[in-house]
Structures are given as C-alpha cells and as structure tokens.
Structure 1
Amino acid sequence: MGEVVSGLAVFAVVIAVGWALVRFGAVPAGSDTVLTGVCFYAATPALMVTTIGGADLATVVSRATLAGLLAETLGIVSAWLVHRFALRRSVAESTIGALAAGYVNAANLGIPVLIVLLGDATAIAPILLLQLLVISPTAFAVLDVSTARGAGSRPAVWTAPLRNPLLLGVVAGLVVNLTGWDARAAAGGLIANSLDALGALAVTLMMLSLGMSLAASSPRVTRRLTIVRVARLRAPGSAADGADGGPAAGGADGGVDGAGGAAGGGPAAGGGADGAGAALDRGERGAALWVSVAWKLAVVPLLALGLGTALGLRGPALLVPVTTAGLPSAQNVFMYATRYGAAKPLARDCVLLTTAGFVPVVLLAAVLLS
C-alpha cells in the first residue's frame, strides 16, 4: 500500500509541476500540445517497442489481461443499453455515451500509472489493441450508419487505427519479441539505445503534459489563449501565421488529443459553445453524463473485480485489471463525438470528470487488494 501511495504522490507532484509551469507563465499555455505530440509520435511508441519486445508474453496473455478486456467490453455494451433503452438517447448519442463509459485513456495515463504503481506497462498492450482494432472500427460503423454518413465519406477515420503510432509500436514490439531479434547487437547498439532514450521520456512528459493541459483548461488561461489567437488572426500576414502556429496548431492539438492526447486539454478548450448548449438540457444530458461517469469509475472496475475473481485471481493479482478498468475516459471519445456531431458535451465533461476521479478509485483498489 505504501508503494502505491508513494507512486501516486510522484505522479501528482510531476502533474503539479506541469500545471505550475503554465499557471505562472514559465511556458505558454498550449505547450502541452507539443509534449503530447512528442509522446504520441516518438516517446510512447519507442516505450511500447522496448517494453513488449522484452516482455514475457505469457504475462500479457493472462487471466488478469482477460479480466480487463472482458470488463471493458461488457462495460461498453451495458452502458450502451442503458443509454439507449433506459435514457432513450439516440443510437449515436448512446454510442458516444458508451465509449465515454468504457474506452480508457490507455496511452497517456494507462502507461504511466501502471509503471508508477506496478513497475511494468506490458498489461496495457492488449487494451490498446482491443481499442484500436475492435472497439474503434465498430464505433465508426455504428456512428456512420446512425448519422447517415457513409463509410466511404470518411476514409481517414476508418484507416486511423492502422496509422496510429502506438499501434505500430505495439506491433513492432511483438515482432521483436516473437522473432527474438537482438536490437542491442544491431548497428552497434544504436537502435536499442535510441529506443531506450526516447522511451525514458514518455512517462515524465505525459504527466507534465497532463498538468499543463489542466492549467490551460482554466477559464482565465483559456480566455487569454483565445485573445492571443484572435490577435494573430487579425495581424498582417495572418494566413502565414495561421499556418505556422494559429488555427493549424489548434487542428494539430485536436488530432493528437483525439488519438490519445493528454486528458483534459482538448475537450476543455473546445467546449465553449457546447457547454452553453448543455445548459439548455441539464436534465436528460446530466443523467446521461453521470451514467457514463458512474460506469467508468465504478461499474467497469467492479466488473473487472468480479471477472478477475471468477477467473481465480486474488489479492494483488486483481490490481492490474481493476486499475486498467478504472482509468479515465480517453479523449478519442471527444474526437469521435466532434466528428460525428453527437453528445459532444457529454464526451468532453466525462473525460474531465473521470480524469479527476480515477485516483481515488485506484487508491481504494490498492487498499482493498494489496
């Protein structure tokens, strides 16, 4: 238990440093976008290659992994049924609500949390594969049909999982592991040392990025960012400026966040008009939001606990599936909601609330299972 608390304390301190850097002006608001890009395209894929490349795959294909996979799948399906038939939301809104209730932030929070708490992030690989290869394509199919937008009109969305650097890192790690290729013997160790150096950045950069994004989502900082962007647009030569750092930067932010960006950044920054719309329908939308939040922070972890117990896991062995199940909603969900115009306020707010609430869930699990 002491190790878990100590690990979470380190996690909190580094996040707080990231928050303070933006809050007190040491780095500009929006800096989390740069760190998130580094993590998403370089550091985390390298970490996946080195972690999975040297892992005992028997521990990946384990009862703990199976419990986590089943819990997420059952959580998403059951949440969809509640949204659709109990809350009477549309198919598209139910799909976004279900994803918010079960699709976890496996990359930007899952990896550092598992490394800090358990010392190994190997268990997150099957979750990433499930989400990128099964859940995302299935969600796209349902959303395409329910919003009357044919799959042919959205090739970039459908092929996104196959172009995801995290997926490529997982696949490369599996190839290295299964073939027994010795990266340290290749090119005089240059490849292995480079991957180690990049992978070592991942966890710290992810936590700093999360803190920065939380600071940037505060009303004061968001207002300041908006003023700066408007000033850039009005300045002479604004088209060129926009290409270098204005609207284009915002677009990159959305892209990285949607693919696994730091929790809290994209939704908070993009939620002004949607937040006003949500206030018009607090009853129904509020119920849908709290169902998704409750599913993410309580129902899915309890499913993982029950399934793990049924599979014969006891004590600390249950901490892996329960921890992965309790991770907050991924920002991918907000990207999907934005692209398909369904339940955007729910997706945004669920990401923020579950990001704030997952630490007590992990602590409670550690107390009960350690």
Structure 2
Amino acid sequence: MSDVIGGLAVFAVVIAVGWVLVRTGAVPVGSDTVLTRLCFFAATPALLITTLAGADLAAVTSLGTAVAIGAELLGLVTAWCVHRCLLHRPVAEAMLGALASAYVNAANLGIPVLVLVLGDATAVAPILLLQLLVLTPLAFTVLDAVTRRGSPSRFATYTLPLRNPLVLAVLVGVLVNLSGFDLDAALRGHLAELLDTLGRIAVPLMMLSLGMSLAASRLRPPQNVAGAPKSGRAGGAEGTGGAVPRVVNVPPEPVHDAASRTALRWAVAWKLLVVPGLAVGLGLVAGLHGSALLMPVTTASLPTAQNVFMYASRYGVAKPLARDAVLLTTAGFVPVVLLAAAVL
C-alpha cells in the first residue's frame, strides 16, 4: 500500500511540474499538445509493443480481463439508460453522457496506473481494443444518425481506429509474442533498445502533458477572426502593419445549464463509484479475490478519456459535460484507486 501511495505521489509531483512550467511561462501554452502527440505516435506504441511482446498472453484473456470488459460495457449501457430514460436527455446527449460515464482513459493514465498498482500494463490492451474498435465506431454511428453531421468520407471515419497507432502497436506486440520473434536478437539488439528507450519516456511524458493541459485550460487567450490571439496593443495586432483587423466575437466556451449540471453529476458519480462497483460485483460473482480482483477494479476506476471531449466537440453535442467530466474524474479517481489497493 505504501508503494502505491508513494508512486501516486511521484505521479502527482510530475503532473505539478508540468502545471508549473505552463503557469510560469517556462513553456508556452499548447506544449501539452506536442507531448501528447509524441506519446500517441511514438512513445506509447513502443511501450505497448515491448510490454505485449514479452507478456503472458494468458493474462490478456484472463477472467479478470473479462470482468473489466463486462464492467465497462454494463456501465455504458446503464449510464445510457440513466441519461436517456431518467434524465430525459436527447439521444446524442445521452450517448455522450454514457461515454463520459464509462469510457476510460486507458492509454495516457491506464498504462502508468496499471504499471504502478499491478506492475504490468498488459491488461490495458483488451480495453484499448474494445474502446477503439467497438465503442468508438458505435458512438460515431449513433451520433452521425441523430446529428446528421457525418464526415464527407464515412470510410475514413469508420476505418480511423484501424489506423490508430495504439491499435497497431497492440496488434504488432501480440503478433511478435505469438510468432516467437526475438526482439532482442533483431538488428543485433538495436531494435529492442530503440523500443525500450522510447517506451521508458512514455509515462513521464504522459504525466507532464496532463499537468500542462490542466494549467493551459484556464490560460488559453481569446481569438480574433484569423484564429490568432488578440494582441492587446492599440492600433492592431502585431504583424498587420498597424492596420486594425476586423475582430469577430468568437462564442465563449459553452457553459452548463441546470439539466447539463445534473447530467454531469450523474456522469461523474457513475464513473467514479458505479462502474468500479460493477467491477467489484462482477469480480466477486466470477470468484475473483485479492490482486486478481484489483486489476478490473483499477481499470474501471480510471477517469473519463479525453476522446470523449473530442467526440463531443466534433459533433457539437454536450461539450461542457464531456469537458468537465474529464477534469473531475481525473481529479477524483486517485482516492478510488487508493481505496481499492488498500482493501484488495
């Protein structure tokens, strides 16, 4: 238990470092985007490949994994019923509410948290595949149908998960494992060294980018018609030769109405309390105890993924709900994980 608390404390300090770097101006606002893309396209795929290449794949297909998947699916369905039937939200908003209640941050936080609590991130692979290959296309289908905002190329939209670096990394790692390919011998060991070097930076970069993102969320400046920050100088923006640009009032960030605030409270409670509770219940029914039960409970306790806000922004639906659910569940999941680790 003390090791988990110490590890989470280290994570908190690294997140705080990212926050301080942005708040003090040591790095510019938006730096978190660069780090996130670096993790997404290079560091995290490398970590997934090396993890799965040497993993015991029986753990991936274990009863605990089935419980984790079952808890997420059951949480999604029950949350949909709450938002649609109890709160009477429109179909699109109910879909975003359900995603905010159950779609977990499996990559940016799931990997480091599982490494810390369980010593192994292998169990995150099936959750990633479930979310990217099943839940995301399902959500797109529903949102396209009810908002009529489908992309010009539906093929591009629905094949997007198959071009996701994390999905490809999971598939490569499993293929290497099953084929018996020796990464350590490939290219005289340089391939394994490259992947290991990239994989080692994934976790600290994820934590730094999270801290930067939290700091930048309150510092992003207003925009002018060209999408650039307003200068604040009399006589026009810098680089315009002193000409006063035509400034267009950009709509402010959407805020909650009373119904949206209620939906947010339900989503946060569902994510932090109900879905982990479902994992406990399903795990006990399946005969899991101790550390075997800790894996699905930890996975279920992970906060809402930032993907949910991206989907809300893309379809112009429930943006305040998605944005604040990500923030509040990210801030609130640590006590849930600590309690699970202490009890189990």
SS at match of 2:185: helix
Distance 2:73 2:279 in 1: 10
SS at match of 1:106: coil
Distance 2:165 2:70 in 1: 25
SS at match of 2:82: helix
Distance 1:323 1:54 in 2: 22
Give identity over the alignment, percent: 63
Residue 225 of structure 1 deviates from its aligned partner by 9.3
8 A contact 1:8–1:117 mirrored in 2: no
SS at match of 1:273: coil
SS at match of 2:134: helix
Following superposition of structure 1 onto structure 2, how do residues 208-357 of structure 1 map, counting pairs within 5 Å? 208-218=208-218, 221-223=219-221, 229-231=229-231, 234-236=237-239, 272-275=252-255, 278=256, 281-282=257-258, 284-357=259-332
Distance 1:67 1:335 in 2: 27
Look up the match of 1:19: 19
Q: Report Cα offsets for 1:170-191 as digits up to 9, x if no partner.
A: 0110110110101121111121
Aligned length, in residue pairs: 331
Backbone CA RMSD of aligned residues: 2.2
The reply to whether residue 361 of structure 1 matches residue 341 of structure 2 is no
Residue 23 of structure 1 deviates from its aligned partner by 1.8
Residue 116 of structure 1 deviates from its aligned partner by 1.8
Look up the match of 1:2: 2
Following superposition of structure 1 onto structure 2, how do residues 105-120 of structure 1 map, counting pairs within 5 Å? 105-120=105-120
Greater radius of gyration (CA):
2
Q: Report Cα offsets for 1:38-77 as digits up to 9, x if no partner.
A: 1000000000000001100001111111111000000001
Look up the match of 1:260: none
8 A contact 1:271–1:345 mirrored in 2: no
Residue 157 of structure 1 deviates from its aligned partner by 2.7
Distance 1:215 1:134 in 2: 33
Look up the match of 1:267: none
Instruction: Point out the structure with the larger helix share.
Output: 1
State the TM-score, normalizing by the size of structure 1: 0.85
Q: In structure 1, list runs of 5 or more residues that go unmatched.
A: 239-269
Distance 2:199 2:240 in 1: 39
Q: Report Cα offsets for 1:84-128 as digits up to 9, x if no partner.
A: 111111111100000000000111010111112221111100100
Residue 144 of structure 1 deviates from its aligned partner by 1.1
Distance 2:24 2:149 in 1: 45
Distance 1:225 1:178 in 2: 51
Residue 236 of structure 1 deviates from its aligned partner by 3.1
Q: In structure 2, list runs of 5 or more residues that go unmatched.
A: 242-249
Look up the match of 1:181: 181
Distance 1:324 1:40 in 2: 20
